[in-house]
A and B are shown apart, each in its own frame.
Chain A
Amino acid sequence: MSGQEGPFKIVILGEGRVGKTSLLRQFVSRTFSDQEASTQSAAYLDKILLLRGTQVQLSLWDTAGQERFHSLAPIYYRNADGALLVYDITDLESFRRVAKWVEELQVMGTTCVLAIVGNKSDLQSQAKVPKADAETYARSINARHSTASAKLGFGVDEAFGALAEDVLASRARAPGQTQTSSRRTRGALVVAEDDAAQPSRQKSGCCGGG
Chain B
Amino acid sequence: MANEGSRPEAGDPAQESEQVLLTGPRRQRLRERLSALSMWLTVKTEPPKSGGPADTEVGSPASMHPESPPASPASHPSDPEALWQDLWESISTSGFREGERSAMSSACELWRRPTASKSIWSRLAKSGPSEAQHRDWERVSKAVRAGVPPALRCAVWSTCSGAIGKKSQVAAELGQTPDSLYPSFTAQGLLLQNEASGVIDVDVPRTGCAEALLEPLRRVLLAFAVKNPQIGYCQSMNFIVATLLEFCDEESTFWILCSLVEDMLPENYYTRNMVGVRVDMLVLTSLVKLHLPMLHAHLVEHDIDLSPFTMGWFLCLYVNTLPNPSLHRVLDCLLHEGSKVLFRTALAILQLLESCLLGVHSVAKAYEILRSPTCPEDDLLCAMHGLWLRGFSTESVCELRRQHLKEVLEQDAVVEARRAELRARRESRESECPGSVAAVDSDESLTPMRNLESFLKVADRDPSDAETE
Contact = CB atoms under 8 A, between A and B. Distances in A.
Question: Do A and B actually bind?
Answer: yes
Interface of A: 7, 16-17, 35-44, 46, 57, 59, 61, 64-69, 71-72, 75-76, 78, 89, 92, 95-96, 99, 102-103, 106-109, 121, 124-125, 127-133, 136-137, 139-142, 147, 184, 186, 191, 193-194, 205-206
Interface in B367-405: 367-368, 371
Contact of A66 (B199, B303, B364, B450): B199
B456 A99 contact: yes
Given A35-B206, A38-B235, A106-B422, 7 more contacts: A7-B363, A41-B235, A71-B273, A106-B449, A108-B415, A127-B466, A140-B448
Q: Which 8 pairs of residues, A with B, have the shortest CB-CB distance?
A: A41-B312, A141-B448, A140-B451, A128-B463, A127-B466, A131-B467, A40-B236, A66-B235
B459 A92 contact: yes
A46 B370 CA distance: 13
B440 A72 contact: no
A64 B236 contact: yes
Given A69-B235, A133-B459, A41 B311 contact: yes
A132 B467 contact: yes
Contacts of A147: 469
Interface string B296-308: 0000000101011
A72 to B, nearest CB: 6
B139 to A, nearest CB: 35
B456 A41 contact: no
Contact of A76 (B238, B273, B308, B364): B308
B458 interface: yes
A140 B455 contact: yes
A78 B305 contact: yes
Nearest to B455: A137
B367 A59 contact: yes
23 contacts: A7-B364, A16-B199, A38-B235, A38-B238, A59-B364, A59-B367, A64-B236, A65-B235, A66-B234, A71-B272, A102-B448, A106-B422, A106-B449, A121-B469, A127-B466, A128-B466, A132-B467, A140-B450, A140-B451, A141-B448, A141-B451, A193-B447, A205-B303
Contacts of B234: 66, 68
Interface of B: 195, 199, 202-203, 205-208, 234-236, 238-239, 270-275, 277-278, 281, 303, 305, 307-309, 311-312, 315-316, 319-320, 362-364, 367-368, 371, 415, 418-419, 422, 425, 438, 440-441, 443-444, 446-452, 455-456, 458-461, 463, 465-469
A46 B364 contact: yes
B447 A107 contact: no
Contacts of A40: 235-236, 239, 312, 315-316, 319-320
Nearest to A11: B308
Contacts of B446: 140-142, 184, 194
Contacts, number: 170
Nearest to B367: A44
Which one of A16, A59, A140, A141 has the greatest number of beta carbons of chain B within 10 Å? A140
Contact of A64 (B235, B305, B309, B452): B235
A186 B363 CA distance: 29
Contacts of B319: 40
A194 B443 CA distance: 10
**Interface majority SS (helix, strand, loop, mixed), chain B:** helix
Contacts of A136: 440, 455, 458
A7 B362 CA distance: 9
A42 B455 contact: no
Contacts of B419: 107
B464 to A, nearest CB: 9
A206 B363 contact: yes
A107 B455 contact: no
Contacts of B449: 102-103, 106
B313 to A, nearest CB: 9
Contacts of A96: 456, 459
Nearest to B302: A206
A186 B444 CA distance: 11
B459 A71 contact: no
A43 B319 CA distance: 13
Nearest to B274: A71
Contacts of B443: 142, 184, 186
Nearest to A78: B305
Contacts of A121: 469
A52 B441 CA distance: 28
A147 B467 CA distance: 13
Which one of A7, A38, A128, A131 has the greatest number of beta carbons of chain B within 10 Å? A38
A16 B202 contact: yes
